[in-house]
Amino acid sequence: MTPPLLYALAGAGLFALGLHAFLIRRHLFWKVLAFNVMGSGVFLVLIGAPASPPGGGADPVPQALVLTGIVVAVSATALAIGLALRVAAKTGHPHLPEDADA
Amino acid sequence: MSPDSPWIVWAVVAPLIAALLAAGFGPRATPLVFLTGVLGVPVSAAALAVQVERFGPQRHAIGGWGEPLGIELYADGLAALMLLVSAVVGAAVSVYASGFFGAGQAPPVPVMATDGSSVGYGHAPPVAVAGYPGGAAPAPPRAPHGVLAPGMPDASGAGQALTASPPADARAGRFFWPLWMLLWAALNALFLSRDVFNLYVTLELMSLSAVALVTLGGTDAATVAGMRYLLMSLLGSLLFLLGVALLYAAYGTLSLDGLASAAAGALDGGGSIPPATVLALAVMTVGLCIKAALFPFHAWLPPAHASAPAPASALLSGLVVKAAFYILVRLWLQVLPVAVPGAALRLIGVLGAGAVLWGSVLALVQHNLKLLIAYSTVAQLGYLFLLFPLLTDGGSPAAGAWNDAAWSGGIYQALAHACAKAAMFLAAGSMIHASGSDALVALDGISHRLPLSFTAFGLGGLTMAGLPPSGGFIGKWLLLTAAFETGRWVWAGVIAGGGLLSAAYVYRVLRHAFGRSEALPPPAPVPRRMELAALGLALVAVALGVAATRPIELLEVGAGPLAPMTGAMSEPGGAYADPAPGGSQSHEPISPDSPARGSGLSGAPARPPALPGAAARCAPILTGTLAQAPLPSTPGP
């Protein structure tokens, strides 16, 4: 098992973990955290899965993609946390109404 | 009209400049925003459409850096048409919004005070789907999605001075313009993207601006709906990004052309489609279906679209949900048709049929105008997905049977629905502002008081029900034709049944609007430009039904799979290896200054054999049959 493959498999595992938490956790902050875990999983897959070029070194394209992806994820996280705070302030609960029963 | 003019760039840059102006200078910049964005986008979209019509697909490498490292903009007939619709809808919504948010108007004047006991008719802002002005009033009991139950007393309060115009506060207006211009830029860039990662970035930019637009109303319901929308949207984006990662791992390229030829080439070479490709396509499809609110992922849409301010609702229902559908069409039918099994086509068709029926039934039982229109969006989006099962004789599209009636019908339905649904949401915003309530019962007699808005709503309803003459009729008629030709009666039944249900829910609104109105307070005045913008857009939706030939011909430019399976790989090397891509692509006005191809990449990993050239794209796959398709003048079935 090569290190890149290890990264890719770890990424898939992280994505699955995050997806699980995203679906079952009710607290909005948990959901935002789970989204970030899922995102990290995808980034690991991006870095790990492409085969290294024959001449050695790393393929620069996935690294550029991950960099862009991190910027997008940070912006999305900021918006999500801001919105979650406003939801909590307005409704008094840090979760969506359909999740309120539990 | 020179083939080299970079109109394709201006379609993205113009709204981006407008967004910066609006964000930096606030309301003072509104005239400039109109000049750069609201005028700039339609002009560049129209010019680009003419270029595509005359000279074939347009391609532009931004900054001279082409694929694989740079970003390329690409417009074929489909992209040009989506861009045109985005321009038309966007311009009308902008005009409407300038009245709605009162840009540059005198301060609002109090005109009347309502008696708090006049149940349901208090003059609350039009976002009153969601409840109570200012958020200061005690929360009234609410129905499941935080939406006021019908006939519930509006908590706008006794003796509160109410305003005539504008219907929304200036604070929301201040944030509306930068967000909307950013959304517009992202949307146009998405339509013109030619690689999967750009599609991801533009999809995410579009979604984040759209979520912010939903929450502009500031009400509890809008905030909760925006949060739910954001979570679903992020989930969809990440699934899409996972698919991008898997595709890059499998093929080492992100470009749509490269992926298409690599996948087709692998199959041609006697191999099979690797499981990673199928997995990638599956996760991307799920992500896009969440974003497109395809049944059963539709639950987030109605509360979000209903609680947004009216111009934002129009943009979301008209344009934003179409973007995910657009990507899905590209992926399934043009990039990876070889990896789409026939069963998947039928499955997504079944989901579409479920959306048509379930969405229509839910629209039929709503008591609030905007929720009714939002559920109608769920139903009408279902029609778009009927395009997939109607494409071929049950085989995969890779079989080469490219049934143009279904293809044109599905896309045409998307175009017509964009105009008509936006017009209906705009008209609904005016009617809700005038009557002071979102409840259907409050619309009694609105046809006498706001004849223009009412007409716009009714004309939009024609497209929903698929009645001639309207763009929706053409779209549904083409889909029906495809179903009849191949003898698939069940799909035909769904299309016809959905039309009947649509007619029923539109009729519910019309019945109230034609009702008696004596006992009601006088309507709040509505700025004239709001009414005219909605009416103009509704007339465009009708015009799409009267003059359908030209758009459908434009749609054929560059249509078809990007890489046909047989005999396509005769030009190994292609664009990546050839520093001067001429030859098979000579009809494409590639700007002469695209030096990046094949240069400066010596250290990059080996790329797969590149696209077989535009020979595939301009193959006469779609020729002829349209002439046989019964077009506008034919009366309905």
Is residue B168 within 8 Å of residue B129, measured between CB atoms? no
Percent of chain B with pLDDT over 70: 74
pLDDT of residue B127: 37
CB contact under 8 A, A83 and B238: no
Query: B313: part of which helix (H) or strand (E)?
Result: helix B310-315
Does any CB of chain B come closer than 8 Å to the CB of residue A61? Answer: yes
Q: What is the mean pLDDT of residues B581-603?
A: 35
Q: Which of A50, A52, A68 sits opposite B201 (nearest CB)?
A: A68
Of residues B180, B24, B30, the one with CA closest to residue B105:
B30
CB contact under 8 A, A42 and B145: no
Confidence band for A6, pLDDT divided at 50, 70 and 90:
confident
pLDDT of residue A57: 67
Locate the chain A residue with the closest alpha carbon to B67.
A61
Does any CB of chain A come closer than 8 Å to the CB of residue B562? Answer: no
Q: How many other CB atoms sit within 10 Å of the CB of residue B115?
A: 11
pLDDT of residue B419: 94
**3-class secondary structure, B621:** coil
B578 falls within a domain: no
Of residues B499, B503, B515, the one with CA closest to residue B461:
B503
CB contact under 8 A, A45 and B204: no
Examine the pLDDT at B614 and tell me if it is beyond 50: no
Does any CB of chain A come closer than 8 Å to the CB of residue B226? Answer: yes
Is residue B432 within 8 Å of residue B369, measured between CB atoms? yes
Confidence band for A56, pLDDT divided at 50, 70 and 90:
low
Q: How many other CB atoms sit within 10 Å of the CB of residue B487?
A: 8
Question: Which residues in chain B have Cβ-Cβ distances shorter than 8 Å to A9?
Answer: none
Comparing A55-59, A94-98, B340-344, the range with the smallest average pLDDT is: A55-59
Examine the pLDDT at B597 and tell me if it is beyond 80: no
How far off is chain B from A84, nearest CA to CA, in Å? 7
How far off is chain B from A1, nearest CA to CA, in Å? 16
Q: What is the CATH number of domain A3-99?
A: 1.10.287.3510
CB contact under 8 A, A68 and B197: yes
DSSP B269-305: TT----HHHHHHHHHHHHHHHHHTT-TTS-TTHHHHH
CB contact under 8 A, A72 and B231: no
pLDDT of residue B110: 36
- B159-209 confidence digits (pLDDT tens): 333 444 455 666 788 889 999 999 999 999 999 999 999 999 999 999 999
B112 falls within a domain: no
How far off is chain B from A76, nearest CA to CA, in Å? 7
How far off is chain B from A34, nearest CA to CA, in Å? 10
Comparing B51-60, B112-121, B263-272, the range with the smallest average pLDDT is: B112-121
CB contact under 8 A, A72 and B204: yes
Please indicate whether residue B328 or residue B139 has the higher confidence score (pLDDT).
B328
Locate the chain B residue with the closest alpha carbon to A71.
B201
Locate the chain B residue with the closest alpha carbon to A79.
B208
Is the backbone of residue B148 left (phi > 0), alpha (psi -120 to 50) or beta? beta
B607 falls within a domain: no
Confidence band for B521, pLDDT divided at 50, 70 and 90:
low
Confidence band for B135, pLDDT divided at 50, 70 and 90:
very low
Confidence band for A50, pLDDT divided at 50, 70 and 90:
low
Confidence band for B563, pLDDT divided at 50, 70 and 90:
low
pLDDT of residue B538: 93
Domain count, chain B: 1
Q: Which of B197, B245, B606 sits opposite A45 (nearest CB)?
A: B245
How far off is chain B from A3, nearest CA to CA, in Å? 15
Instruction: Quote ipTM for the complex.
Output: 0.94
- B295-354 confidence digits (pLDDT tens): 889 999 999 999 999 999 999 999 999 999 999 999 998 888 888 888 888 899 999 999
Does any CB of chain A come closer than 8 Å to the CB of residue B146? Answer: yes
Examine the pLDDT at B582 and tell me if it is beyond 70: no
B176 falls within a domain: yes
pLDDT of residue A52: 56
Q: What is the mean pLDDT of residues A76-92?
A: 93
Question: Which residues in chain A have Cβ-Cβ distances shorter than 8 Å to B146?
Answer: 97
pLDDT of residue B541: 92
Question: Which of B224, B240, B246, B300 to mutate: most A Cβ within 10 Å?
Answer: B224
10 Å CB burial of residue B586 (0-12, 13-18, 19+) is exposed
pLDDT of residue B152: 37
Q: What is the mean pLDDT of residues B551-571?
A: 64
10 Å CB burial of residue B497 (0-12, 13-18, 19+) is middle
Tell whether the torsion through CA atoms of B214, B215, B217 and B222 is positive or negative: positive
List B74's β-bridge partners, or say none: B59
10 Å CB burial of residue B624 (0-12, 13-18, 19+) is exposed
Q: How many other CB atoms sit within 10 Å of the CB of residue A101?
A: 6
Examine the pLDDT at B133 and tell me if it is beyond 70: no
CB contact under 8 A, B69 and A61: yes
Tell whether the torsion through CA atoms of B326, B327, B331 and B332 is positive or negative: negative
Percent of chain B with pLDDT over 90: 41
Confidence band for A72, pLDDT divided at 50, 70 and 90:
very high
Confidence band for A100, pLDDT divided at 50, 70 and 90:
low
Examine the pLDDT at B583 and tell me if it is beyond 50: no
pLDDT of residue B101: 84
- B375-423 confidence digits (pLDDT tens): 999 999 999 999 888 886 444 444 334 457 888 889 999 999 999 999 9
Examine the pLDDT at B607 and tell me if it is beyond 90: no
Is residue B92 within 8 Å of residue B424, measured between CB atoms? no
B307 falls within a domain: yes
Cα separation, B574 vs B579, in Å, equals 9
DSSP B439: B
Does any CB of chain B come closer than 8 Å to the CB of residue A34? Answer: no
pLDDT of residue B590: 37
pLDDT of residue B438: 85
How far off is chain B from A68, nearest CA to CA, in Å? 8
What residue numbers bound the domain in which B59 lies? 7-104+169-563+622-628
CB contact under 8 A, B145 and A97: yes
Does any CB of chain B come closer than 8 Å to the CB of residue A14? Answer: no
Across all residues in chain A, what is the average pLDDT? 86
Does any CB of chain A come closer than 8 Å to the CB of residue B286? Answer: no
Confidence band for B244, pLDDT divided at 50, 70 and 90:
very high
pLDDT of residue B145: 40
Cα separation, B376 vs B387, in Å, equals 18
Residue with tokens 């607290």: A27
Is residue B448 within 8 Å of residue B431, measured between CB atoms? no
Among B227-236, B476-485, B567-576, the range with the most confident prediction by mean pLDDT is: B227-236
> Phi/psi at B501 (nearest 5 deg)?
-60, -40
Question: Which of A5, A25, A32, A65 to mutate: most B Cβ within 10 Å?
Answer: A65
Tell whether the torsion through CA atoms of B101, B105, B106 and B112 is positive or negative: negative
Confidence band for B425, pLDDT divided at 50, 70 and 90:
very high
Give me the numbers of helices (H) and strands (E) for chain A, helices first please. 3, 0
Query: Which residues 66-95 of chain A have a CB within 8 Å of chain B?
Result: 68-69, 72, 75-76, 79-80, 83-84, 86-87, 90-91
CB contact under 8 A, A51 and B238: no
Total number of residues shown for chain B: 637
DSSP B318: I
Q: Which of A42, A50, A57 sits opposite B252 (nearest CB)?
A: A50
Across all residues in chain B, what is the average pLDDT? 76
B150 falls within a domain: no
| Letter string b/e over residues B518-535, b meaning 16 or more CB atoms within 10 A of that residue's CB | eebeebbebbeebbbbbb
CB contact under 8 A, B249 and A90: no
* Model confidence, pTM: 0.81
